[in-house]
Amino acid sequence: MPSFASKPLFSESKNIELFYSNSRSIKRKTHLLSFIKSLGYHVILLSETWLTSDDADAFLMGSLGDYVAFRKDRITNAEITRGGGVAILCSPLLNPILFATFSSDGIECLVIDIHFPSNRKTLSSIRICLIYRSPSYLGVTMQSSLKFNDHISRIVSKARAKLSLPTLEHRRLISDLLFLHRSIHGFYSYDHTNLFKLSPLGRNLRRSHPLRIGLPYALPKSHSTFATRIIDRWNVLPADFVNSSPIFFRSHLLSLPSISFTSDSLLRL
């Protein structure tokens, strides 16, 4: 049962101490878990619990109520009979609240919030995220080229969208548009000929403006640059919009819903 303990999170008289272990079947190591709990850790994080929906929380809690238990078990079937699963044991003095859980083929995620008394001088709450990935995990689409970090990014994006929060991609696009607007109008002094070029229209097109941009040279479709990410979005903006002041341009961008920046809605801007 290899493990490590974190350093205290705060340099105050009452520190928060965490313990993490890859348990590989906590049911066979309840005696070790009892010993770990006796050491007084405030938060205990366990991966590969190997628990299922048929198992009670008693394997984690024991006969005492010193901790609040949260768990996300591996979804088992005829092919997957054991493995995976994560759990968090937290002291009730930290007022833990379950924030989110996620489970897919070969991955489990458990997120909780812990809250401190209102008279605390530092942070009032902390979010703890525990993720376990099976060594054989290839991603939801079962593509070996899909990196684990890419999948986590998708999870976060879906969660932010569900909570009506802007995704990382949306925020980056906003920043790119603001940077391009200031560049074209001379607020930034640099040589942008290697990034983009102005491409005045030879004929009138719907939703066109004279400050359209193009690439200075042909690039492979897979090549991602500042200009390739933003060119389609910028070129369909209204003319009075791209000619406005930076303050108006920014406020107008922030007022648009995030769906306006998806590829399916570009022509509706």
pLDDT confidence bin for 259, thresholds 50/70/90:
low
Q: pLDDT per residue over 66-122, tens digit each?
A: 899 999 998 877 677 778 899 999 999 899 999 989 887 788 999 999 987 665 556
Domains of the chain: total? 2
Q: What is the number of residues in the chain?
A: 269
Q: Is 144 inside a domain boundary?
A: no
pLDDT of 41 > 60? The answer is yes
User: What's CA 233's distance to the chain center, in Å?
Assistant: 24
Tokens of 104: 């897919």
Q: Looking at the predicted structure, is the pLDDT value of residue 140 above 50? A: no
Among 9, 57, 8, which residue's Cα sits nearest to residue 33? 57
247 and 203 assigned to the same domain: yes
CATH number at 91 reads 3.60.10.10
Q: Which domain holds residue 204?
A: 168-268
In a domain, 49, yes or no: yes
Average pLDDT over residues 21-37: 89
Specify whether 123 is located in the same domain as 201.
no
Confidence of residue 137 (pLDDT cuts 50, 70, 90): low
